[in-house]
Amino acid sequence: MDESPELVSLRNGTKVTIRPMVAGDGPALLSFFRGLPEEDRQFLRDDVTRPEVVERFVAKLDDDSVIPLVAEHEGRLVGDGTLHRTRHGWAVHVAALRVVVDREFQRSGLGTALAHQLVRRAVGLGLDKLVAEVVDNQIGARRAFEKLGFHQEATLKGHVKDIHGAKHDLVIMANDVSHIWERMEALVADYSPTAGD
């Protein structure tokens, strides 16, 4: 379920397909990342303009700790959204969200659509908590996540160095989705005041 592509109509009427990343996406992904302006790229965790980095993303497709989605418009990739989780250890209930959208396609709801699909998948995987890491001056990204129900949970001072060597705070935004599962828990509790045979 939900592995099928979803056709999204953006605010300006443009149609974009959101679908899982596939092995053949390597070259298109690389040109998408290379087309990003430096300011959108500089705070991404990896240097995504290097072919070997992108190849690594594509090679990891059968790893169930990463769920990668892409947004496609007329054969070109215009957005990338991933959900990262650990399969063992103390944070198995947590996943991190990362979203990047082509400049041309920003502010038309695509980032929100990608993030929304990832949140839905995370809930579908039974996760309790989602986090997103944004740099303090990424106002747009912070706003976008806030609109999806994330709130600022912690700040790591001077945690990020941009390509000019300047340090920035890293803001960790979180979204607790466990209430969704609490309702399910209540349903399976089998409690009823009418005890009997």
Partner 1 sequence: MAKSEIRVGGLGGQGVILLGHIIGKAASIYDSKHATLIQAFGPEARGSACSAQVTVADEAIGYPYVKSPDYLVIMSPDAYTQFAPQLKPTGTLLYENELITIDDRLPAGAKALGIPATRFAEELGRRLVLNIVMVGFFAGVTGLLSKDAMEKAVKGSVPKGTEELNLRAFRKGYEYGVELIGAATVTG
Ligand X SMILES: CC(C)(COP(=O)(O)OP(=O)(O)OC[C@H]1O[C@@H](n2cnc3c(N)ncnc32)[C@H](O)[C@@H]1OP(=O)(O)O)[C@@H](O)C(=O)NCCC(=O)NCCS
Contact 85, 65 (CB under 8 A): yes
List of residues 6+ apart from 138 with CB closer than 8 A: 43
Binding to ligand X (CB under 6 A): which residues in 89-118? 98-101, 106-112
CB of 18 to partner 1, least distance (A): 16
Cα–Cα distance measured from residue 72 to residue 80, given in angstroms and rounded to the nearest whole number? 9
Site for ligand X in 128-157 (CB under 6 A): 132, 134, 138-141, 143-144, 147
If binding is defined by CB under 8 A, does position 1 make contact with partner 1?
yes
Check: CB of residue 18 under 8 Å from CB of residue 71: yes
Min dist. Cβ of residue 76 to partner 1 (A): 29
User: Three-class SS of residue 195?
Assistant: coil
The span from the CA of 174 to the CA of 188, in Å, is: 27
| DSSP bridge pairs for 73 | 76
* Sole binder of partner 1 in the list 120, 147, 151, 161 (CB under 8 A): 120
CA geometry: angle at 80 spanning 49 and 149, to 5°? Answer: 130
190 binds, among ligand X, partner 1, none (CB under 5 to 8 A by kind): partner 1
- For residues 28 and 26, what is the distance between their CA atoms, to the nearest angstrom? 6
Q: Is 126 in the site for partner 1 (CB under 8 A)?
A: yes
Q: Residue 139 CB, nearest distance to ligand X (Å)?
A: 5
Site for partner 1 contains 74 (CB under 8 A): no
Cβ-contact 83, 21 below 8 angstroms: no
Least distance to partner 1 from the beta carbon of 194, Å? 7
Partner interacting with residue 181 (select from partner 1, ligand X, none; CB below 5-8 Å by kind)? partner 1
Nearest approach, Cβ of residue 171 and partner 1 (Å): 26
Residues 105/133, Cβ–Cβ less than 8 Å: no
Q: Does 177 bind partner 1 (CB under 8 A)?
A: yes
DSSP 8-state symbol, 108: T
3 binds partner 1 (CB under 8 A): no
Instruction: Tell me: does residue 67 bind ligand X (CB under 6 A).
Output: no
Residues forming contacts to partner 1 in the complex (CB under 8 A) are 1-2, 120-121, 123-127, 177, 180-181, 183-185, 187-192, 194-197
